[in-house]
Structure 1
Amino acid sequence: MLKFDNVALDYGSFRALDGISMHADDGELVVLLGANGAGKSSIFLTTSGLHKAAGGSIRFGERELIGMKPSQIVRSGVIQCPEGRKLFPGMTVLKNLTLGAYVHRADKAGNRRRLDEVMGLFPILDQKKDVPAGSLSGGQQQMVALGRALMARPKVLLLDEPSLGLAPLVVKQVFDVIQQINRTGTTVVLAEQNAFAALRIAHRAYVIESGRIVLEGNRESLMNNEAVRRAYVGG
């Protein structure tokens, strides 16, 4: 279980996260809904150790993540796939994927097996493995970003706005893969503005506004919540 207890984060005098308490059970797919700037990325950056919490606790199993180095957090199995993909555009697709396995670089056989699994999920990447990642379409670049995160062998996968800038058909393809990843047993925490697509595959969701959780519930309760529909889903 990944559990947040009263987590706070400050950017100077601005409180970006204020009393965040939530959890993702083993094997769950949990969605964080919220507008741009609501605090979704701040939750992930704090979990990954890239921002220092001002208070509270983030536990993964028996481990307290706050205070750990980012590299230690990655080794523990908590992996972030960042907003904007953050690929190395001049490097080949294969090199970008291989970099995801850096913390497991001594396990060459395991990394080869993992690469085969990633290529099985994204066959187009196998066809384009030797071309620069920056030459791919937006959807294909998102596949590289997902594949790179999977090369790190996540137990918990933090996905930050994977649908951003993608065409609706590509969004469906990406979300189908996310659901498939979750069905293999990987816990997924998905931050999204595209509430309709995200709630379709979620087990539970939290609504974040101004750094606070204002609502939580299962997929059905949030899809049928009138305020959520007006703000995030439409219709």
Structure 2
Amino acid sequence: MSDPQAKAGTGLVIENLTLDYGSFRALDGVSLQAKPGELVVLLGANGAGKSSIFLTTSGIHKARGGSIRFGSQELVGRKPSQIVAGGLVLCPEGRKLFPQMSVLQNLNLGAYVHRGDKAGNQRMLDEVMALFPILKEKQHQPAGSLSGGQQQMVAIGRAMMGRPQALLLDEPSLGLAPLVVKQVFEVIQRINRSGTTVILAEQNAYAALKIADRAYVIENGRIVMEGDRESLLKNDEIRRAYIGA
């Protein structure tokens, strides 16, 4: 992350993606892309389909149809561990930490697919601690004893330990105080500027759009609008629905 010559991350292309939960169609022909090195935002209300896109892309849910291409890889049908090893990593909504385990143990779990490369994992750990200095101070404390903002830092740090070329971030600002949200979004920008492609699902539309290159709006499992940062920030419909202006 600290390399100023870092290459742009790998791009992601989703085409006509469908996902069913029983008889309910959660995703209905979703198509979107994040070009290498972009920061792309998914906007939408609870239940719109943002998490479903991420869970399907990361192999946790099985697509009903469509294609998910990550660089030269087709991800549909791959196991989650294979997808992480290939460079696409999910930081899930709700953090999903192991609260009784230490901060350090939680972080090291993110490097599981690289467990044979101890030197590389230590380098990544050093970079994560540089991103979140408070975690170095609290590395031996149970993750569940940390504040909500600090737990979100652990969750992002754990994802970074997977060495992502593209990082999926699902609602990282959820439940956080405004000052902490600002800090988290600054870190997300740093990660992106280092060369990692970032796809960010957010309800905090204004904060997300301020750092985005482009954004998609999803409603009822369908993409209903897309555009660059400026056009969506100025869009009256988006402002009314998501920004409250």
Counterpart of 2:156?
Answer: 146
User: CA–CA distance in 2 between the matches of 1:45 and 1:97?
Assistant: 21
Within 5 Å, which residues of 2 pair with 1:212-227? 212-227=222-237
CA distance in 2, matches of 1:72, 1:16: 24
Q: Give the CA deviation at 1:193.
A: 0.3
Amino acid at match of 1:148: R
Q: Deviations over 1:180-212 (max 9, x none)?
A: 000000000000000011001000000000000
| One-letter identity of the residue aligned with 2:192 | N
Letter in 2 for 1:210: N
Cα deviation, 1:103-159, whole Å, max 9, x if unaligned, reads 101100011111000000000000000100000000000000000000000001000
Q: Structure 2 CA distance, aligned partners of 1:63 and 1:174?
A: 30
Structure 1 residues not aligned, in runs of 5+: none
1:84 aligns with 2:94: yes
Shift of 1:213: 0.2
Q: Distance in 1 between matches of 2:212 and 2:243?
A: 14
2:197 counterpart residue number: 187
Secondary structure of 1:114's match? helix
1:227 aligned partner, one-letter code: E
| 1:49 equivalent in alignment to 2:54 | no
| SS of equivalent to 1:165 | coil
Q: Tell me, in whole angstroms, the C-alpha distance in 1 between the residues paired with 2:107 and 2:22.
A: 35
User: Is 1:202 aligned to 2:212, yes or no?
Assistant: yes
**Does 1:110 find its partner at 2:147?**
no
Q: 2:168 aligns with which of 158, 167, 176?
A: 158
Question: Is 1:134 aligned with 2:161?
Answer: no
Which amino acid letter does the alignment assign opposite residue 38 of structure 1?
A: A
Shift of 1:62: 1.1
1:75 aligns with 2:85: yes
- Does structure 1 residue 100 correspond to structure 2 residue 110? yes
Quote how far apart the aligned CAs of 1:233 are: 1.0
Q: Cα distance, 1:48 vs. partner?
A: 0.6
Aligned to 2:12: 2
SS in 2 for 1:59: strand
TM-score, L = length of structure 2: 0.95
* Aligned-partner SS, 2:53: helix
Q: Aligned equivalents of 2:162 and 2:64: distance in 1?
A: 28
When normalised by structure 1's length, the TM-score is: 0.99
Count of aligned residue pairs for this structure pair: 235
The corresponding residue for 1:125 is 135
The percent identity for this pair of structures is: 76
The alignment partner of 1:72 has SS state of helix
RMSD of equivalent CA atoms:
0.4
**1:231 paired residue number:** 241
- Give distance in 1, aligned partners of 2:96 and 2:32: 27
Task: Provide the C-alpha distance between the structure 2 equivalents of 1:156 and 1:28, rounded to a whole number of angstroms.
Answer: 9
